[in-house]
Amino acid sequence: MTAGARVLFAFAVLVSSARALAAQSCNIGSAPGNCTTTTSATLTVGKVVQLTLATTSTTLPAPTITDYTNGYLTGSGQVVSIRSNANVVVRVAARTSTWSASNMTPGVTAWVAKPSTDLQLGAATTGPFTALTTAGYTLSNSGATANLDLPVAYKLLLDWRNDTPGQYSLDVVYTVTAP
């Protein structure tokens, strides 16, 4: 094929491609008749993921003598709701390795070194439980879901010598990832 023929061929391909991309129309010369044209729809779907916490905070009950004697107390923690059109991994971790502590009783110092691992999480107040660390752990690994509700119960370890009067708080971080 000569250079001129290649240019003419390339021009013909461009013209025919342009005609294929042009708007389609249909005409009926006389009735009755019908006419058909075709179009297409295109949709790009990305990953859509939602993580919702049932409450913004959880207040555990004040420990009793029985709780201290048992070495722990349990309570409802959180309900983590996931909606996703893709596989998701839900992780939970402590923001810091120790609880923040505020003195509430004159002459008594709240324990500023209470470890995050004293808070344990489980699917029910009967356990089993996993200690909360800053490294965290996988709470759930799931496929696409329209309704995944993960109940999380809390178990708080108590010690007569260390858990002195005060107000203690720890940020619990829930993260959802769609790998």
Could you give the maximum distance between any two Cα atoms of the chain, in Å? 101
Residue 103 lies in a domain: yes
In a domain, 168, yes or no: yes
Residue 35, in any domain of the structure: no
- For 58-114, what is each residue's pLDDT tens digit? 999 999 999 999 999 999 889 999 999 999 999 999 999 999 999 999 999 999 999
pLDDT tens for 30-54 read 888 888 899 999 999 999 999 999 9
**pLDDT of residue 17 exceeding 70:** no
Q: What is the CATH number of the domain that holds 70?
A: 2.60.40
Whether 105 maps to a domain, the answer reads yes
Q: How distant, in Å, are the alpha carbons of 1, 38, 135, 147 from that of 154?
A: 79, 59, 18, 22
Domain count, the chain: 1
Domain that holds residue 77: 49-177
In a domain, 79, yes or no: yes
Buried-state track 2-27, b at ≥16 Cβ within 10 A, e below 16: eeeeeeeeeeeeeeeeeeeeeeeeee
